Structure 1
Amino acid sequence: MEKLRTIKFTTATDQKLEKIALALGRSKRLVFVQMVDYFHRNKKDPTDLNDDLLKNSLSKSHKTYMGFIKSQEDLLLIPIKQGVDKMIGNQRDIVKFFNEQVLGANKTLLKNQHQMLERTAESDKVIKAVLQRMDGADQLKAKFLQILNSYIKSREELGSFKGREKEELAELTRKQVENL
């Protein structure tokens, strides 16, 4: 059997030890033994609140995490960023090319539409002129027929003996035809 030793401490310290033991679910003796083992193994000074060993441990962990993050950055983040930058550049080129092509096609289309409108307007003018001439030709034929019929009728009324009057009638008819 082990030999037990006695340590005297204040009531306030006993209350703190009891709270720790209750929180951990262990006996006060077991908690005390574990505290002594902890300080003995880690060579920590309980009065040093800025524990250098703890700082070193945290620093090593921090360096490990930073190394992991940097390796992930080299393996994943940088290639992803480069790929995204390249994709954005390609998309800009596509949009630029598309805009140039569409704008060029639209300008050509507008130019062709204006040319077609001009040609259509010219065609309308020509058609109107042809229609007017056709109407004019029909009217001219009608007037010519009137003159011819008037000539024939007047000639038949004169008879065959009046040569001078026939010449005057022929001259009058020629003037009327010229005035058409």
Structure 2
Amino acid sequence: MARIDTNVKSIRYPVPCDEKLTLLARKLKRTKRQLFIEMVDYFYRSKKDPADMNDEMLKSDLSRIGNRLVGFFRTQESELLVPIHGMAQELVGNTETVKDELKSIHEKQGDAEKLLRENTKHASEQIRLLTSIFDGLAKMEEMRAGFRRIMEGYIAEREALGWSTSSGKKDELVRRFRLKVDRL
């Protein structure tokens, strides 16, 4: 079956136009034929006049698009940016308040730590004092017990001597017991 060639039409145009078409095709990396077909499709779909360099339709489209964008940005500004800015300002104010409160808490914490150190020092002194008092009471109890033993021993030995014993023996007994009391 023979292949049918669809490229049956040709256009003649001047050499300077061919040079421009060649440069344009190289720049866009297409063949001249491919570029020509795309140009025809573009003008057909856009309904633009290639002879009209000022293209009022394009200008009006761009103007309309610009107006829509400006409207969109104004809407976003009023609906989003202004409330966000207000919230940001409120957060800054809240941050300052929290900062002041944290500073106050830090100062109070420092005062509490100082008071705790002072109370701990005072409690340590009280514990030392109570310990020395309890030690003194224990020693006093020991001394009382020792004195009781000495006195009981003195009484027992004096009774053993009887009333008729010479005063020298009695004096010796008193001297010995005084020595025992002094050793306490």
Q: TM-score range by the shorter chain?
A: 0.5 to 0.7
Tell me whether 1:47 sits opposite 2:51 in the alignment.
yes
Structure 1 counterpart of 2:100: 97
Structure 2 segments unaligned to the other structure (5+ residues): 1-7, 11-46
Amino acid at match of 2:167: G
Q: How many angstroms apart in 1 are the aligned matches of 2:96 and 2:169?
A: 94
Q: Would you identify which runs of 4 or more consecutive aligned residues in structure 1 move more than 4 Å?
A: none
Structure 2 counterpart of 1:88: 91
* SS in structure 1 of the partner of residue 51 of structure 2: coil
Structure 2 counterpart of 1:35: none
Residues 24-57 of structure 1: per-residue CA shift (max 9 Å, x gap): xxxxxxxxxxxxxxx8xxxx74533x55212320
Tell me whether 1:171 sits opposite 2:178 in the alignment.
no
Number of residue-to-residue matches in the alignment: 146
Residues 59-104 of structure 1: per-residue CA shift (max 9 Å, x gap): 3213422442453355344522431321221232133124223323
* SS in structure 2 of the partner of residue 125 of structure 1: helix
Residue 143 of structure 1: CA displacement? Answer: 0.6
The CA RMSD over aligned residues, in Å, is 3.4
Asked if the contact 2:150–2:177 (Cα under 8 Å) also holds between the matched residues in 1, the reply is yes
* SS in structure 2 of the partner of residue 47 of structure 1: coil
Q: How many angstroms apart in 1 are the aligned matches of 2:107 and 2:131?
A: 36
Residue correspondence of structure 1 range 21-170 to structure 2 within 5 A: 45-48=49-52, 50-69=53-72, 71-72=74-75, 75-161=78-164, 162-170=166-174
Q: How many angstroms apart in 1 are the aligned matches of 2:172 and 2:57?
A: 143
Structure 1 counterpart of 2:34: none
Q: How many angstroms apart in 2 are the aligned matches of 1:148 and 1:97?
A: 75
Residue 11 of structure 1: CA displacement? Answer: 7.0
Determine what percentage of the aligned residue pairs are the same residue: 19
Structure 1 counterpart of 2:22: none
Q: How many angstroms apart in 2 are the aligned matches of 1:122 and 1:108?
A: 21
Residue 131 of structure 1: CA displacement? Answer: 2.2
Residues 98-152 of structure 1: per-residue CA shift (max 9 Å, x gap): 4223323432333333333323332332232222122211111111011101211
Asked if the contact 2:49–2:55 (Cα under 8 Å) also holds between the matched residues in 1, the reply is no
TM-score (ref. length: structure 1): 0.61
